[in-house]
Structure 1
């Protein structure tokens, strides 16, 4: 077991209204811990688009701070401030299409701005306070999800997770990984199996690194090993995160999650999704309406700079898939666990 150390902060605002957003560049992990200072809205957009910051809650927090960075050059008069706010929020909304927290945070910042009075500088100060509040709420949300989820796990269990839904994906301890951290704090001994999560290896690069940093027993496996590991009896539960959840409980998460859910069903293993209420999109009837981001072919053909496929081969590279609600034993939120996962139970929990 790796010795526990203090986990570095993946998202941090430095300074006042003239400050900047500091992020861990997650594309450099696990071999290098590199910080990226975003002083322009273009740098925030690029960090979100290129997965330097990723995970639905972390994207939302980063976008809120991105609004502040983008408005710093428009404090001369109110007209310029209002025009720039519309430009910045519209621009950041184009960075990634699937994670609903991005749009939730931007809409929240816009709503707050609409109700403000005073000088542009005073309005910027208030918006910075709101962005910090979004970050604070996210940390509290992570802790609450961890508590509710830990109650579902027993000491001695083997648990599988896919992609990364930890502190690197949020402002706190994460969603899925918060469940493991909270269980460990309760004295429960778990063994986590982390899918490497192709093609960008978020499980190998990020989840394994985070769990080792926190002293949680973790074993890394290839994505196509999950079924056999379940067959061997090593897994008693699956916990994953989500980027958008429809009103009926269908949940979008990193590509490969749907396969894991089907495998869990085949082996009689409960499959849980951990996500905050802000990840639910109640405007969508089912997961069929969730936009699925298509990413560049070279993430598959030239993974991490090395060509591993024939030149010119056709590539299909969806970043996410959707797990139907009937495969989900429960959705762990900061307000409690939704189980069984039905439209009625989702709406009752989320619309509080």
Structure 2
């Protein structure tokens, strides 16, 4: 049994800490592997040990990961805030450097919901700086856009892969010690045979989260995602320059008075251009800004003529761009920004209107 345990550890397939840590410490004592160089002193049982970058103690390892990531975050944030980096590249840095460091090795521990919450709190506080979006944006929206799972989901997916490998190696006894902590509200079948089956389960879970959110912004956003039918992927447009402006439109935390008024950033929810020119109290929301405000009519005419030339038959079912324009369907339009031509056309229209808005509103 001792030889089997040693081979397993050497292979790097780390196992459930509560059950096996005493065996590891016993091996250290029996084979003189204690780092204490003074051989005259009595060998003691260490409180924790570092192996393959993992402290074999849950609390020590969690603190070790978080301290390392906090240090690296300070170094990265100054670089990533430069304008030349797209949101897609910032997300890539976050996932590759910080997110992976923060969650490294945690799949072997028996983590509680409190542990998962502690990790997610740090992620939620810092991710807005990478995406450079309004912190009032519901987390469900920008985490879905960037395809950033909760710590629980990410760690469980890693544990799922580890269990599959251990089953192939016929380590069923260890698999029994890597059980998932089921949550009553999740209904995720972690006993799936393949990762693809698990991804289908997770997609249903993510949609359910969006549906159960009390935020009207999330409900509108769910319509966008439902049209796109790609909740399981990072949004392509985030890789392009200017994606922050479109991202703000899609998560309804932009500069328009309808949304800034709710966040106490503006005294009125009405369009100041319509009030100034025609003395009308019209709510400045997304539909008004894109389709109806007379201040942008010249730009809108050019923009719509450009839209009509774009062929989107390959990404729409039983619909076309003319119908979207006739219906003035802002939600449907925002679901199509993954098309490069629509993205660039909307961004150009948006920037022109913001210039007019800045010059005329005061």
TM over 0.5: no
> Which one has more relative contact order, counting CA pairs under 8 Å at least 6 apart?
1
TM-score, reference length from structure 2: 0.33
More helix by share: 2
More strand by share: 1
TM-score, reference length from structure 1: 0.33
Q: Greater CA radius of gyration, 1 or 2?
A: 2
